[in-house]
Structure 1
């Protein structure tokens, strides 16, 4: 198939540091190429890919030295897509809803994966207006607040199977928190849990400008107050393997309807069990008692920490390999692409039957 993947421009594909959506776009793109498809990636010019790259900004916009308004770059990308739309069997968007008015004429050859939260009231009138656009959710829970729309399927994220190596015997002896410093991610609860169970906690996270007041007024003082807590800062992909692999467990004490939670499967890939609060997608990602434990409160987290640390890390890794690989993700998306009403793939070539065999044989 000739497939266009359209990524956000905020980060390169894959991102240098934080950037869950761009990371998933990278894993999906590379796996589709590996499986023999003709893939074109619309992304920032500093992206790294084995697909054909259409540069829509010189560098990722978060790192752009002179960028003050991201919208012009996004409009340029949409025009590039509109002009080239006939070149592709299917166009796969990962940029929320900005493209909806542009794709009306070929929407039946598109799919849009929604990577963010969908419970914000301002979104409902928009999705009602564009209820015919094929959408993909990244968990079933993510769909719950939405009006009636054209759901093409749910596809869980997946990682390249060897991107994060399995660590059977972690050396760190610490609990890990990885992601963003923000109120809904609840690093304050991670600090409380670690302190009450008497274990070191390492926090590897970025602080966005929008969350700096929260960091400066609440989390930074807590880090300074607790001797068992270390703030590592934002880490890259290479550092992540060691950080997660050597952790005894990952703490994921979210307080919002997390659409997926990529860090959970990253920890699982390393064999590291996850202690997560039962919000959003957690019940779909964690196999309770196998890859982690889902709880509803700090008290319940503390009660279950010993059980969590005794989970078999080989079974944690096995749970990742069963459900959250890039190969499985690509296979799920390909099935959705082929079901789109506007996708007209060439009929398979047929060859003459082998002597003595009456049926025609399909050449894959």
Structure 2
């Protein structure tokens, strides 16, 4: 199939540091190429891919100090896509909603994965105005606030199986927090949990401009007042493997309807169990008692740290391999592509680059 993947321009694909959506677009794009599809990636020019790259900005917009407003750059990308839409069997958008009016004439061979929260009040009238645009959710819980729309499926995120190595015997006696410093991610809870159990906590996190006041007034004072808490800052993929793999457990103490939570499966890939508050998608991702522990409070989390540390890390990794690989994610999406009403291709069996056939049903 000829497939266009349309990524956000804020970060490169894959991102240099933080950037969950762009990371998933990268994993999906590379796996689709490996399965033999002809893939074109619309993204920033500093992206790295085996697909055909269409540069829609010289570098990721967040990393370009000359960029004041992202919108003009996004509109230029959409015009490029409009002119070239006829070249593709399927166009897969990962940019939320800006493209909806543009794709009316060819929406039946598009799909849009919604990567963010959908419970914001301004979104409901928007999606009610576009009930026929094919959509994919990244968890079933993500769908709850939405009006009736054209859901084509739920596709859980996946990682390349060899991206983050399994660590059976972690070297560090610490708990980990990885993500963003923001009120909904609740790093304050992570600090409280570590303090209650007397364990070290390492925080690897990005601080956006909008969250600087929260960092300076709430989290930074907590970090300074707890001698066993270490703030590392943003880390890259290489550092992530060591950071997660050598942790006793990942703390995921969120306080919002998390659409997916990529860091949970990153930890699972390393064999590291997750202690997570049961918000949003979390109960769909974590197999309670196998890949992690679901809790409802700081006290309950602290009481279950010892149990989490005793979980079999081989079973944590096995849960990842069963449910959250990039190969499974790509196969799910290909199945959705082939069932779009505007797609008329009857495809031959897909083969990976190693020649192994994938068990996919071709749909006319």
TM-score by length of 1: 0.95
Write out per-residue CA displacement over residues 295-344 of structure 1, whole angstroms, 9 at most, x where no aligned residue.
01111112211111100000000000000000000000000000000001
Q: Secondary structure, in 3 states, of the residue corresponding to 1:205?
A: strand
The separation in 2 between residues aligned to 1:340 and 1:238, in whole angstroms, is 38
User: What is residue 292 of structure 2 aligned with on the other side?
Assistant: 292
Tell me the equivalent position of 2:330: 330
Pairs within 5 Å for 1:214-233: 214-233=214-233
Partner of 2:254: 254
Output the CA distance in 2 between the equivalents of 1:283 and 1:328: 20
Partner of 1:305: 305
For 1:59, the equivalent position in structure 2 comes to 59
Q: What pairs up with 1:3-22 in 2 under 5 angstroms? A: 3-22=3-22
**Residue 180 of structure 2 corresponds to residue 180 of structure 1:** yes
Instruction: Tell me the CA shift for residue 347 of structure 1.
Output: 6.7
Which structure 2 residue ranges, 5 or more long, are not aligned?
A: 350-361
Partner of 2:205: 205
How do residues 241-280 of structure 1 correspond to structure 2 at under 5 angstroms? 241-280=241-280
Aligned to 2:102: 102
Unpaired runs of at least 5, structure 1: 350-361
C-alpha separation between the residues in 2 aligned to 1:135 and 1:347? 22
**SS in structure 1 at match of 2:184:** helix
- With structure 2 as the length reference, what TM-score do the two structures score? 0.95
When the two chains are superposed, the root-mean-square deviation of aligned CA atoms in Å is 1.0
Structure 1 residues 110 and 202: CA distance shift in structure 2, 3 A: same
Matched position secondary structure for 1:42: strand
Kindly indicate whether residue 234 of structure 2 is the aligned counterpart of residue 234 of structure 1: yes
From the superposition, tell whether residues 199 and 348 of structure 1 become closer, same or farther in structure 2 (CA, over 3 Å). closer
**Separation in 1 of the partners of 2:93 and 2:346?**
23
**Per-residue deviation, 1:4:** 0.2
Query: What is the SS of the residue equivalent to 2:248?
Result: strand
Shift of 1:65: 2.5
Structure number, greater radius of gyration = 1
Consecutive aligned runs of 4 or more in structure 1 exceeding 4 Å deviation: 346-349
C-alpha displacement of 1:165? 0.3
Aligned length: 350
What CA distance in whole angstroms lies between the structure 1 residues aligned with 2:76 and 2:149? 28
Provide Cα deviations, 1:127-153, integer angstroms capped at 9, x if missing partner.
000110000000000000000000000
The 5 Å alignment of 1:12-51 reads 12-51=12-51
What is the CA–CA distance in structure 2 between the aligned matches of 1:168 and 1:199, rounded to whole Å? 20
For 2:348 and 2:268, locate their aligned partners in 1 and report how far apart those are by CA, in whole Å. Answer: 39
> Cα deviations across residues 95-133 of structure 1 (Å, max 9, x unaligned)?
000000000000000000000000000000000001100
